[in-house]
Every structure is written in structure tokens, then in C-alpha cells.
Amino acid sequence: MGRVIQWKKTPRGIKGESEWGFFVVSVFDSQIIRVQASRWDQFYPNPYSVVYSPTNPPFDFTESEEYLELSTQKLSLRIKLSSFSCTFLDKNGSILNEDDPLGISWIGTEVSCYKKLQSNEKFIGLGEKTGNLNRAGNAYTNWNTDYFAYGVGDDPLYMSIPFYIGIHEKGAYGVFFDNTHKSVFNFGASTNRFTYFSAEDGEMDYYFIHDPQVKNIISKYTELTGRMELPPKWALGFQQCRYSYYPESEVKTLANTFRDKKMPADVIYLDIHHMESYKVFTFDQIKFPDPKALISYLKEKGFKVIVILDPGIKADSSYLPYQEGKSSGLFVPYPDGEEYQAQVWPGWCALPDFTQEKTREWWSEKMKFYTDAGVDGFWTDMNEPASWGQCTPNLLEFDWEGDKASHRKARNVYGMQMARSTKEGNEKQAKQKRSFVLTRSGFAGIQRYAAAWTGDNVASEAHMLAGIRLVNSLGISGVSFAGYDVGGFVGDASPALFARWMSIAAFSPLYRAHSMINTRDAEPWAFGEEVEEISRNYLQLRYQLLPTIYAAFYSSTQTGLPLAESLAISNPQDPKVFESAFQNQYLFCESFLIAPVESTKEITKVYLPHGNWYNLYTDEFFTGGKEIYVDCPLNYLPVFAKAGAIYAMQSEVLHTSQNHDQILRIHVYLSDQGSTFHYYEDDGISKTYQKGAYYKRSISYDPQLMELKFSPKEGDFKSTFKKTKLYLHGFHTEVLSVNGESQKLELENFAFLNKLTEFDPLPEKAHPYHEISDLKVLELELIDEEIAIAGLF
């Protein structure tokens, strides 16, 4: 950038000119400052990612001979006039992040920002990136790539989210680099001088975010780029997919088998073989002669249907979608106007230009074909965009909302805009029903439109654990609703691997099994009686926990925080959570510590962070801040409940639309710290919750008063639960105050999930989780909502 030549103050910050460029610095609020730099006195920001538009925020401005400084209540930016280098400081004046003397620089069209490495600095985030939780010492590329059977250390993959969090002894900060070109983030690979982020073209445009808490940095980032909308409740259930289930008789058999075997499930997918010659917006008339009747049959069984959508439109003059797209100029062209075509599943195809508004509207209208048939959700695949040959020409010309852009600029947002078009189409056609879209490709802000899955993984122990890190990293990067293909898409899972994967994925935001063509059957009953029973038990546990999971999804729509939470979020200064032995551990719905472990192990080491913990199955008590050894036979996934945890369970159901027994089971774990659970409920399907049709109430525990408080309910929705049953873990008192009234507690022997031990692979060994816990149980009858205790639900 060189020396600052001139500058002026603006309502949001400053703007000016240096020897080699132009700059704008904007204060968004007390925690976010934006830095833009360009070689030209005009800026072309990405129109797709940032949705936060602050008004003129208050900030202090000071000027000296050497520096300009902008300060808010939480953050300061000091700009060196001799070089336009930026130093970010917290409210105490400690350096959070500082430019290297090279600062913002160009090499041809490539723009980079070089940052000094802080002492023992760690880096987390960047979305869908393989490798370790701590990104230090490595470099990563953002370029959405179709990568079949990728390795557990390979990069790049399908999705690009150029947001990371830096952590060091003086604090934490976030950086979102809002440039859609191919970019690189180097966290000290091949250099000990600096870290940097760069893009092959475009502007330097980054947002610096600070808060003392990593959680609040993530929340601020999602305020900037948007948060997910509340999904339909059925999308939280188990989803069964295969490439492919056909003909319709096989789909019916699949559905009937789930119900006959009493295995909970909500979703069946139809992959590319449901289409006629792989053409989107068609059904194969031989394999699926009456799709509407089939889908109606599945709905009667409690199943929703999701169909795959690929962007490639077969270049066939007799194919109506191609005729419409060609005549209306909806496809991506070369610069001379000729239509671009690439080979995908249907053969030579044209690509809809989703950066053009009229294309998105057309796509939304075309989706009526599926919604009229009763389809409930959509799976956008191959949307990097992928094609045979994997080398899309860079000179293609995208509309980019009328500003025109090459493939270099548009590729990374293509999948995101396809997901956006699909969501908007689903909502337009389904009226008041909520949409569900699952996407393979995306960019920063994708969480507003779709859930994500981690692509074509492999049936291996290493991939199972890598998928956990990928989902946790996506959560750090704003994508709360994410998952992986349970059992592995590529190759054949062993029975043990599938069983372990099913148990881990029961604690994943997205719970989907998927396998590819020409592999063994991969349904939960396909691996023998032992695996079937283990799968059934964890499926049932998932469905019993749906009140907690649904409440956590609602909370994420408000805060942007993940459901699967890396331990680094709450324990950023604890070096143990970054160690390879423990980096896969995470919190699920804030209450459960999940310790994933390979199916080949019978004992594993678990790190319990600071605080107190209870074994979920036995209530065995542990103090935190230490490592313990835990038995982990195939039917037993190590899970711990956090002291102070409050969570809700329901009776067993086979799908989310089936009625439960109307008893809400609230579990409370003794702690010397107070805690609160925010319960949330609505109809799970419509958008009427946005107009007040919801049921919300907080449940708080005060250890000093030995009191449990149920707040007054909010919202107009009538709860589906008529009775509340409290399970008190670790309590030794006979009396607990509930909303100010003392309740005498009865002791009840309660074998919590003891069925998990029915298929013990080592029956001659005694395991501590075989012991039955003694729980104090309090049942509260609903009489009148005006009565404090009896009217809790």
C-alpha cells in the first residue's frame, strides 16, 4: 500500500489514498471493523455473503504524526501512516493482531494481507477443511472442488468459508476475508515470519471481529453473514440415502423394513436414478411410474422424501427446461455469447447462471414439478459446479447481478446461489411450510439457505473421525446444520465401523446414512443382529432427545452458535483440547461431552475439561481438568453430561410426526454453578412460529437455594406435553424447591438406556456402566396453567 497520502473521516470511519492504492476503513459496531483496499478508487464488494447493515456506530478517532486510531468500547484499530499497516488492540491496549511491515500487498492481480505471528498462536475454523483442529503450521486453499474419495488430509474440498479465529495468550479474534476468488490462508507453512491470506484477484476486503469469548466471535460472524432459519423438525430425525434406491418397490420395502423393525427414521432420499436419463425435473416412468402415489404411500408411513437436484441441464432441444433456459438467456455463456456446455450425468449440459435473478426465479418455478408430487426436501449436488474433466474454463461470463464476472470470481458462490434458488423455490411452492435444502457446495453465508454434508467420504476409521472435525469446523464457521455420510459413501464399512458411526452420528446435527452404487447394503439392519440392535438403541436415543435437539436448533437460529461445539470454543486457552488424542471431542447441545473413538478400540483415553462431569449411563461423577480411561466396547460410546446440565427427553417414537406419551422428562445434574435450559417448541412444520405460534420457557437451577425455576411460558402455541417428570442426577437432598414450593423427592431405580448393554462384545468383563443409577424423580401433573407447579407444561 505504501505511505498514506491523503485521508478523510467518514460517518463510519475513514477513507483515503496511499502511494499504491485506495482504502476504506469502516466501524460496523463495537466488535467489528472492516478494512478494504484496492488498486483503484472504486470497490466491488461481494453481494452475497454479508447481510448485516449497521447504522453509523459511535467510535472515537484520534490523529497523531505517526498514526490514525479508531476506537470502540471493545476494539481499536491503529493505522500507521508511513505504511498503512494495521494493528488491532483490545480495550486494555493488548495487541490482538498486527500487520507484518509488508501489510497489504499485490503481486500482479494477487492481493495479500501479511500478519505477524503471535506467540504460540493457534488458528481454528475455515469451514470444511481437513487436518487438525489447530490450523497452525499449515496452508489451505479455498476453491470449491468435486473431490471423490478425498483423503483425510486433502485440500480443497467442496465448500469455501474464508473465516478463521486466532487464539493466543492475550485474547482471540476473528477474520472474515470477503473475496470470492480462489484464496489461500497460510498459518505459518514454510515461513516463520508471518501468516497471510491472499486471493488471486479482486480486492482486499476483510472484517476483523473481537470479543473476549470465542463464542461471541462466532455469534458476531453469523450476525454479519446471517444465521440459519429453523428447519422442519423431521429434518432432525434419521435420514436414509443410497446411490440409488430404485425401483419404487425397493423404496417401499425400505420404508416398511424401518417400521417393521421398529427403527426410527424420517427421511428417504431419491438419488439420480429417480430421473429419466438423469434429467432434473423428471421422474423415470419405468422405475417410478406414479411418483405422487409412491410419495403418498411413504407419507402414510411417516416418511418425508428428499430428491437430488443437479444443476446440469441436458442440452436436448426436446427437453423443456433446456428450451426455456436457452430462449430466456438463463445459462452461463462464453464471453462471445455462445452457450457453455460441459459433460455431467445426462451428457452435455448447460449450466444455469444462479448469479442472475431471473435464473433463480425460473429455477424456483421449475421446482413446482416436485412439490406437486409431494416432495418435501431437496439435495443440491454437483454444484461446485462439477463436470467430467474437472477443469471449467475461467473465461466464462456470469451475470453477477448485472456486473458480469468470470468463473474465477463466481465459482465459489455458485453452489450457494443454487441452494438459495432451491430454498426460495421450495418456500414459494410449499407456501407456509419450512424448507429443507442440503448442499455439497457453498460459501460464507450458506447457512442462511441450506444444511451441509461433507461429500464423498470413505468407509474407514480415519474418515469417521475426520468427518467429526469437519462438522465441528463448519460449526466454528457459522454452519450449525451439518453432517457426514454415516458408514462412508465410498467402499464397504465393516459391521463394527458402521455400528460405531451410527452411535457417534446420533450426536451430530445432521443424521444421515449414505452409500454408493456397487457397494454392500448399508442400512442399519444389513450388518447383522448385533449392529442392528446397537443402531436401534442409538436411533431411539436420538429421538428421545429431540426436545433438547430442537431447542438447540432454535437457539442456534438466534445466536449462530453450533450444536456440535469443538472444545476449543469454550476452552480456547486449554492446550489439551488441541492435542491429537482429544481434538475430536465436542459438546453436543451444550450438555453432552462426546468422546468419539474408533470401532477397533475397547478402551480409550478421554479428556474432561475443567468443571464437573457425570457418566451419562451410570451417573458416575468426575472432576474435570484431567484425563481418564474409559471402556468403549462397540455398544458403548463414551458420553458425559456436564454438571449443571438441564435437558429434555420424550418417549420413544418411530418418526417425528408420531405422538409421544405427553410426558416431558427433564434431567437436571447437580452443580455448584447455576444453569439454565431454554426449552422451545412449536408445530415443527410451518412458519407460524414467526408470528408468535411457539412455546418457550426457561428452566433454571439455583444451587444456593436448591431451587428449580420454570419461567412463565411465552408464545401462543399449546405444548404437546401434558406432564413433566424431573430426573435429578447427583442430588442428595430429599427436598427440592420448584418455583418456590418445596417438593419431597421419591427415590426410583432407573436404568437409563441400559439396553445399550444387551449386546456386550465382552460378556466376561464387568463394565461400570452396567450399574443401575439411583435417581430422585419428581412427577408434576398438569392441572391448570395458572398453578405454578402443576402447570409447568
- Sheet with 741-744, edge to edge strand ranges: 675-681, 695-702, 707-710, 735-738, 741-744
pLDDT at 749 over 80: no
pLDDT at 764 over 70: no
Q: What integer is the mean pLDDT of 554-563?
A: 98
Band of pLDDT at residue 234, cut at 50, 70 and 90? very high
Cite the active site residues.
381, 384, 456
Query: Tell me: the pLDDT tens digits for 101-112?
Result: 999 999 999 999
Please give the grid coordinates belonging to residue 325: 433456459
The label of the residue with cell 451410527 reads: 502
Band of pLDDT at residue 765, cut at 50, 70 and 90? very low
Using CA atoms, how far residue 127 sits from 157, 437, 457, in Å, is: 10, 18, 16
Q: What integer is the mean pLDDT of 591-598?
A: 98
Within 8 A by CB and 6+ apart from 661, the residues are 650, 651
Cα gap 739→742, rounded to integer Å:
8
Q: What integer is the mean pLDDT of 116-133?
A: 97
DSSP state of 28: E
Q: What integer is the mean pLDDT of 723-749?
A: 76
Taking only Cα atoms into account, the Rg of the chain, rounded to an integer number of angstroms, comes to 27
Q: Which amino acid is at 95?
A: I
pLDDT at 750 over 80: no
pLDDT, position 674? 94
pLDDT > 90: what percent of the chain?
89
pLDDT at 166 over 50: yes
Is it true that domain 233-310+359-390+407-562 has CATH number 2.60.40.10?
no
User: Which range, of 88-92, 249-253, 471-475, 756-760, averages the lowest pLDDT?
Assistant: 756-760
Cα gap 354→310, rounded to integer Å:
13
Cα 503–Cα 563–Cα 556 angle in degrees, nearest 5: 150
pLDDT, position 746? 59
* Inter-residue contact 155 to 182 (CB < 8 Å): no
Q: Which is more confident, 36 or 729? A: 36
3-state secondary structure 213-257: CHHHHHHHHHHHHCCCCCCCHHHHCEEECCCCCCCHHHHHHHHHH
Cα gap 187→194, rounded to integer Å:
8
pLDDT at 347 over 70: yes
The full DSSP string for 38-72 is ESSS-----SSS----------EEEE-SSEEEEE-
pLDDT at 758 over 80: no
Using CA atoms, how far residue 708 sits from 223, 676, 719, in Å, is: 33, 10, 20
Question: What does CATH list as the number for 646-781?
Answer: 2.60.40.1180
Cα gap 4→81, rounded to integer Å:
5
Within 8 A by CB and 6+ apart from 174, the residues are 125, 163, 164, 165, 166, 207, 208, 209, 210, 217, 218, 220, 221
pLDDT, position 135? 98
User: Which range, of 143-147, 457-461, 591-595, 746-750, averages the lowest pLDDT?
Assistant: 746-750
Q: What integer is the mean pLDDT of 415-425?
A: 97
Q: In a 3-state reduction of DSSP, which class is residue 276?
A: helix
For residue 119, how many C-alpha atoms fall within 13 Å in the half-sphere facing its CB?
3
Band of pLDDT at residue 297, cut at 50, 70 and 90? very high
* Inter-residue contact 490 to 516 (CB < 8 Å): yes
Band of pLDDT at residue 55, cut at 50, 70 and 90? confident
Domain boundaries, the chain: 4-225, 233-310+359-390+407-562, 565-596+603-633, 646-781
Cα gap 353→750, rounded to integer Å:
58
pLDDT at 760 over 60: no
Q: What integer is the mean pLDDT of 273-279?
A: 98
Task: Judge whether 565-596+603-633 and 646-781 match in fold.
Answer: yes
Q: What is the pTM of this model?
A: 0.95
pLDDT, position 736? 81
Please give the grid coordinates belonging to residue 70: 479508531
Q: In a 3-state reduction of DSSP, which class is residue 535?
A: helix
Query: Tell me: the pLDDT tens digits for 640-666?
Result: 999 999 999 999 999 999 999 999 999
Cα gap 793→639, rounded to integer Å:
29
* Inter-residue contact 205 to 409 (CB < 8 Å): no
pLDDT, position 755? 35
Output the average pLDDT for the chain.
Answer: 93
pLDDT > 70: what percent of the chain?
94
Query: Tell me: the pLDDT tens digits for 182-194?
Result: 999 999 999 999 9
pLDDT, position 767? 30
* Inter-residue contact 549 to 674 (CB < 8 Å): no
pLDDT, position 770? 31
pLDDT at 768 over 70: no
Q: 565-596+603-633 adopts what CATH topology?
A: Immunoglobulin-like (2.60.40)
* Inter-residue contact 384 to 440 (CB < 8 Å): yes
The label of the residue with cell 467442496 reads: 158
CATH class for domain 4-225? mainly beta
Cα gap 632→651, rounded to integer Å:
26
Q: What integer is the mean pLDDT of 560-585?
A: 98
pLDDT at 323 over 50: yes
Band of pLDDT at residue 540, cut at 50, 70 and 90? very high
pLDDT at 781 over 90: no
Q: Which is more confident, 156 or 732? A: 156
Query: Tell me: the pLDDT tens digits for 76-88?
Result: 999 999 999 999 9
